[in-house]
Amino acid sequence: MHIDILTLFPEFFVGPLGQSILKRAQTQGIVTIDCLNLRDFALDRHRVTDDRPFGGGPGMVLKIEPLVRAIGWVRERRPQVRVILLSPQGRLFTQGMAQELARLENLLLICGHYEGVDERLQYFIDAEISLGDFILTGGEIPALAIVDAVTRLLPGALGDENSAAEDSFKDNLLKGPQYTRPREFAGYTVPEVLLSGDHQRIARWRRQEALRRTWERRPDLLVRANLTPEDLAFLATLAAATPDPGEFA
């Protein structure tokens, strides 16, 4: 997979992209990532990329010409590229969206900045994505988050092919509790079932704990979860014992 990031601050990505899984995935050729400087696509002498908004108002707006010129430059080299603007007005980024993007061969992430971008950019992109209902200085942090979420889903990126499959939000559930050595710490012990060696019993316990944690912390996810009759029966026991946090079936 190849990912282009269009930004006013390409140096922002130098440290994070050179660490941990992102570094290893690039070294192994699983993903290639290029940070493009938006100023390189401004043709005037001062490489201006922003201007005051028509109609007045505070702040500056990213100009349409360098943005579209950069998109054209990428599309000329990678015709099948998916172009996404990072914007607080976009669709909320989810694990399902990360899985969808991970199936692409080419992706271009555009980092918004200042008060936003010229509205006409909508005619030159494929989608807008938001990291959440809050405002950041620019799209660099959301772009980095998306690159990380997508890269770890690519085959071979984590080494263990089962790791990503068992993450939180698999089947729209949070991941259940995890334990490691020592078996006892400060009076708190590892659940006995995890030491039993009974893999079927352990799998059932983990599924139920994932359901319990989602019920307690993110009941909204249960509306979209892939639930079996056994799952529904277990949730019914939770509902009988605790206040109903919301619909789950």
Catalytic residues: 88, 115, 152, 167
Q: Helix (H, G, I), strand (E, B), or coil: what is residue 225?
A: coil
User: What is the rounded CA–CA span in Å between residue 245 and residue 179?
Assistant: 27
Q: How far apart are the first and last CA of the chain?
A: 37
Strand partners, 51: 61
User: What is the rounded CA–CA span in Å between residue 176 and residue 172?
Assistant: 12
Could you give the C-alpha distances from 200 to 47, 65, 139, 207, in angstroms and in order?
Answer: 62, 59, 44, 11
Q: CB burial class (10 A; 0-12, 13-18, 19+) of residue 142?
A: buried
Residue 169 in tokens: 């939000």
Residue 71 in tokens: 């998109």
> Please, are residues 113 and 138 in contact by the beta-carbon 8 Å criterion?
yes
